[in-house]
Structure 1
């Protein structure tokens, strides 16, 4: 089973929920898809770390073959190519590695070479395999790193937790497309309800089974919960606003390992999700 955990913005507790769910499961895989700013490994502190470079193919020009027709320049919608002073220039930083310019060149003046855009680090923390994607600074897209992460995660464990990037970008779409269930994490504020609506629209568009975890809950009104009630979205769990929990997180410890109530909370959350997935599978069989 693959669970994707996402939120409309950073700071809602997405990584907190992901890390704790992975920690209470046996034979789990935690996959940090937030490749621009991964921090799940700070909690797990994995050992025996192995690194693997992630590369993409980018074009390079052979000036002796280029006749200056500019067909490749006109094709590229990312403006990664320019013909200046009888030479073709490739701006690697904004190239999206689609390969279209090479197909369109009538002279065969463009070839491909590999460029490293990031890396994957894999290690072990107890019963949890920890996979972390790290995008090189300045790269246009983290999708190649996320794709490589998700490919590697298929080789391990029975439960996979995708800790998605915040928001609803292409990187988030890549992170949830193979998920069996999506957990949306929301804060109890008006802005939290707005951000929840954004990711709810995304998972609905993808047709993914989903539910909401309400984090930092107080006894006062909760606009995010009101939105769930209005839209008929299942609330999977409510996590209280807890100063002790904040202290545990700030020390990069895992609450489910430190406090029995949170171990029970996240074990219950996993069981609820498993039942939801089984129900969804049965209803479509």
Structure 2
């Protein structure tokens, strides 16, 4: 079972929910796919760390073979190639490693080299396997790292997998959600929060994924995100209060369900609701 936890923006409590669900699930696999800003490891503090570099293929041109036909330049949809002053230039920073230039070159002027774009760190925290994707600053796409992380879940199919997704609704989020069995949408009780909830709601609906909503930072008064769920008949899986103690635990990198029985009950009820909605 793969549970993807996502939100329309950062700071809604996505990692809070992901980490505590994984901790409560018994033997579990936690995948931090927020590769640009991973922070689940700050809570789990995994031990026995192993690191694996993630590389992509980048074209290398043999200027002696290149005739300047520009077929590769015309083919590249990302403007990663340019023919200037009788030389072909490769802009590695924006290359998407599709390999198309290698295929279309009539002179076979291209070879490829490995370029490291980031890494995966794997460790253990109690009964939770913690796998973290880390994208190097300035890299174009974290999709190859996410694909490697999702491959880990296939290798641990016997474990409940909690996927901490990137925020938003970009392509990298779609890559992360694609293999999920159930999606948990985390939302704040504000107009802005409802707007971002609508974004991820549209995404998972288009992708045909079953889902429910967690309303975080609940206070007295209006809750536009809650009203959105009511209007759209979306199941609300749980409500997490806006609580100073929970905020302090979170800011200190503590896992709430390890520290306080009240929070353990809240997240246990949430996990039970997810299992019920997902048909487990």
TM-score bracket relative to the smaller structure = over 0.9
Q: Deviations over 1:131-177 (max 9, x none)?
A: 00000111000101111111123223510000000000111001110
- Find runs of 4+ consecutive structure 1 residues off by over 6 angstroms: none
Q: Deviations over 1:84-132 (max 9, x none)?
A: 1111111000000111111111111112111110000000000000000
Which residue is equivalent to 1:68? 68
Which residue is equivalent to 2:232? 231
| Match runs of 1:155-194 below 5 Å | 155-156=155-156, 157-194=158-195
Which residue is equivalent to 2:107? 107
SS at match of 2:278: helix
Distance 1:33 1:267 in 2: 23
TM-score where L is the length of structure 2: 0.98
| Match runs of 1:62-211 below 5 Å | 62-156=62-156, 157-211=158-212
Which residue is equivalent to 2:25? 25
Distance 2:226 2:279 in 1: 25
Which residue is equivalent to 1:274? 275
SS at match of 2:121: strand
- Is the Cα contact below 8 Å between 1:236 and 1:269 reproduced in 2? yes
Which residue is equivalent to 1:257? 258
- Is the Cα contact below 8 Å between 1:20 and 1:256 reproduced in 2? yes
Shift of 1:58: 1.2
Pick which of 152-161 and 201-210 moved more.
152-161
Shift of 1:9: 0.3
Distance 2:183 2:39 in 1: 20
Shift of 1:266: 1.3
- Is the Cα contact below 8 Å between 1:212 and 1:233 reproduced in 2? yes
Distance 1:196 1:12 in 2: 10
Which residue is equivalent to 1:283? none
Pick which of 107-116 and 193-202 moved more.
107-116
Which residue is equivalent to 1:241? 242
Pick which of 130-139 and 261-270 moved more.
261-270
CA RMSD of aligned residues (A): 0.9
Pick which of 153-162 and 255-264 moved more.
153-162
Unpaired stretches in structure 1, ≥5 consecutive residues: 280-285
Shift of 1:197: 0.2
Unpaired stretches in structure 2, ≥5 consecutive residues: none
Distance 1:138 1:218 in 2: 39
Shift of 1:268: 1.6
Pick which of 42-51 and 148-157 moved more.
148-157
**Number of equivalences:** 279
- Is the Cα contact below 8 Å between 1:131 and 1:153 reproduced in 2? no
